[in-house]
């Protein structure tokens, strides 16, 4: 037999399995089923995965809702680009928009109050990574992702795009203030 020449018998799946090969296949199958069960358990009982609602939307529909929130709750602007900082009341719907290469607006939330955070992208896939609490969500254009959040510690949190979105990806950084 040679590695250069094709095997004489091409129907390799008709050959009997060696005992060691069969053992490794069974171990791999058991491990896959165990990990699948653990992922379901982590989602139900753990705090690793967020349960989100997702709706289809268009950039025009989402922009109207986000702009209405910004018009109603803006308290100041920050950065050279004059990005609005909004402070919506507790229990309200909060809209955060991702587009090349920024998040808009900056949010100012109250500690221990619950909000419905709506996320969407206007152009490409982006990531929403809230640090240091390590919340990660992929933001997809045409879909509005809704997360119920309750900040439980005051401070300034960093929002990063963790999905490569082009040449300005490294500048796609924002913040959320919790008062």
How do residues 121-139 score in pLDDT, each as one tens digit?
A: 999 999 999 988 878 889 9
Instruction: Output the pTM of the full model.
Output: 0.73
Q: Which residues of 55-82 are buried (b: 16+ CB within 10 A; e: fewer)?
A: eebeeeebbebbeebbeebeeeeeeeee
Q: Is the pLDDT of residue 34 over 80?
A: yes
* Each residue's pLDDT tens digit, 39-58: 888 877 776 667 788 999 99
Omega into 132 within 30° of 0, i.e. cis?
Answer: yes
The three-state secondary structure class of 105 is coil
DSSP string, 72-87: HHEEEEETTTTEEEE-
pLDDT at 47: 65
Beta strands 173-178 and 106-109 are parallel
Q: Is the pLDDT of residue 80 over 90?
A: no
pLDDT at 97: 94
Structure tokens at 97: 């928009």
The three-state secondary structure class of 63 is helix
């Amino acid at each position: 037999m040679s590695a250069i020449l094709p095997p004489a018998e091409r129907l390799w799946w008709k050959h009997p399995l060696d005992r060691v090969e069969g053992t490794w296949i069974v171990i791999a199958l058991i491990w896959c089923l165990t990990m699948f069960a653990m992922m379901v358990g982590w989602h139900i009982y753990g705090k690793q995965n967020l349960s989100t609602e997702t709706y289809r939307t268009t950039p025009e529909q989402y922009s109207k809702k986000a702009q209405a929130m910004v018009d109603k709750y803006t308290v100041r602007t920050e950065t050279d680009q004059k990005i609005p900082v909004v402070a919506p009341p507790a229990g309200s719907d909060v809209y955060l928009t991702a587009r090349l290469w920024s998040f808009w607006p900056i949010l100012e939330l109250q500690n221990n109050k619950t909000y419905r955070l709506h996320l969407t992208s206007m152009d490409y896939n982006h990531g929403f990574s809230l640090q240091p609490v390590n919340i990660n969500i992929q933001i997809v254009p045409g879909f509005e992702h809704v997360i119920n959040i309750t900040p439980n510690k005051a401070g300034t949190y960093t929002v990063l795009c963790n999905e490569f979105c082009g040449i300005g990806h490294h500048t796609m950084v924002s913040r959320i203030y919790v008062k």
